[in-house]
Amino acid sequence: MHQLNRVLCAAGFLAASMSAYADIEIYKIDNAHSFANFNIRHVASKLSGTFSDVTGTINIDRANLMNSSVDAKISLLSVNTSFVKRDEHIKKEEYLDVGHFADMQFVSTKVIASAKSANEGVITGKLTMHGVTREMSFPFKVLGYANDPWGGYRTGVEAHTSLKASDFGFTWGKPGSPVGDEVEVTLLIEGIKTN
């Protein structure tokens, strides 16, 4: 009888685990429709641009966003400020140093769901850029879910944050520099369901 109880408990745990796993929807980031946009001070104004090569995976539990997670990579080689000569300058060692650090990566460690909305929350994770890893937290919103025209199923996520370039070892934002230290970031991410 004792053995039977142990078997039943194990079976119940396995069923619960499988049920929890089944609630997780897995989305592959569509880098043709995902962007990491940025603004940074330039002299007396602001410069805007985007990184258009965003890849990775978003796992979403609609019933409990706290079970959700993100693993995303952004290619710094994809920087685009609508001026090719400037983009090539930004890639050099003086700025992004893509020859040594071609990517940045964000891996989430925690999601806190909003008490006001089932589709909003704050995500925390490790951002690695320029060989430096920092913990970051920022608000996000799941914009929705929909069938696409090609037979797939998609979700969209928007997030906003800001960071200091100097926290990641960059030196361009020193006092008196024409380029600022603080970078405002807007993430517009579209994912295609894979499960």
Amino acid letter for position 44? A
pLDDT band at 11 (very low <50, low <70, confident <90, very high): very low
Q: Which domains occur in the chain, in start order?
A: 25-193 (2.40.128.110)
16 has pLDDT over 70: no
Query: Residue 194 — φ and ψ, nearest 5°?
Result: -115, -10
Residue 15 has pLDDT above 50, yes or no: no
Q: Are 79 and 104 in contact (CB under 8 A)?
A: no
Average pLDDT over residues 140-161: 97
In this prediction, residue 40 carries a pLDDT of 98
Closest alpha carbon to 178 in 14, 10, 41, 56 = 41
In this prediction, residues 21-29 reach a mean pLDDT of 87
pLDDT per position as a tens digit, 84-139: 999 999 999 999 999 999 999 999 999 999 999 999 999 999 999 999 999 999 99
Q: What is the mean pLDDT of the chain?
A: 92
Q: Does residue 73 surpass a pLDDT of 80?
A: yes
pLDDT for residue 22: 56
The confidence score (pLDDT) of residue 4 equals 53
**Rounded distance, CA 30 to CA 40, Å?**
26
Please enumerate, as own/partner, the contacts of 167-174 that have beta carbons within 8 Å and a separation of 24 or more. Answer: 167/132, 167/134, 168/129, 168/130, 168/132, 168/134, 169/130, 169/131, 169/132, 170/95, 170/130, 172/94, 172/95
State the pLDDT at residue 3.
Answer: 60
Give the model's pLDDT for residue 33: 97
Among 17-26, 94-103, 168-177, the least confident range: 17-26
> Could you give the CA distance from residue 180 to residue 182 in angstroms, rounded to a whole number?
6
2-23 average pLDDT score: 51
Q: Flag whether pLDDT at 8 surpasses 60.
A: no
Task: Evaluate if pTM is beyond 0.95.
Answer: no
Residue 18, pLDDT score: 44
How far CA 101 is from CA of 39, 98, 189, 194, in Å, comes to: 21, 5, 22, 30
At residue 140, does pLDDT exceed 90? yes
**Which two three-digit tokens encode residue 40?**
């940074």
